[in-house]
Amino acid sequence: MPTSRWSLRDARNRFSAVVEAALAGEPQHVTRHGRPAVVVVAAETFERLHRPGRAGAPSFAEMLLAMPRDDGSFERSEGRPRAVEI
C-alpha cells in the first residue's frame, strides 16, 4: 500500500513512486530528521493553488470596492466627552 509520508532518504530512493502517487492526486509529505520538510504535488495542483484569484476568491481590491458606501451623514452623539487629567 503506498504511503503519503516519506523520510527524505526513502523519498530519494523511491522518487518515481513519490511522483506517481502525487500524479494520482495524493500529496506526498516528505520529512527531514523526522520533521515535515516538503510536500510533493502534481504540477496541475500546484498551478491551481497558485493561480491569482484562486478558487474564485475575490482579491483584496475587489473586497474593498464591494463594501457598502454611505452618504456621509450620521447622527452626532449628544454625550459629553469624559474629563481627562493630563
pLDDT above 60 (res 77): yes
Task: For residue 14, count CB atoms less than 10 angstroms from its CB and return exposed for 0-12, middle for 13-18, buried for 19 or more.
Answer: middle
Q: Would you say residue 1 has pLDDT above 50?
A: no
CATH number of the CATH domain containing 34: 3.40.1620.10
Residue 57 has pLDDT above 70, yes or no: yes
The reported pLDDT for the residue numbered 53 is 55
How many separate domains does the chain show?
Answer: 1
Q: Which domain holds residue 35?
A: 5-51
More confident residue, 16 or 67: 16
Under the phi-then-psi rule, with left for phi > 0, alpha for psi from -120 to 50, and beta for the rest, what region is 70?
A: beta
The mean per-residue pLDDT over the stretch 3-32 comes to 95
- When pLDDT is averaged across residues 57-62 and rounded to a whole number, the result is 83
Cα–Cα distance measured from residue 22 to residue 37, given in angstroms and rounded to the nearest whole number: 16
Residue 63 lies in a domain: no
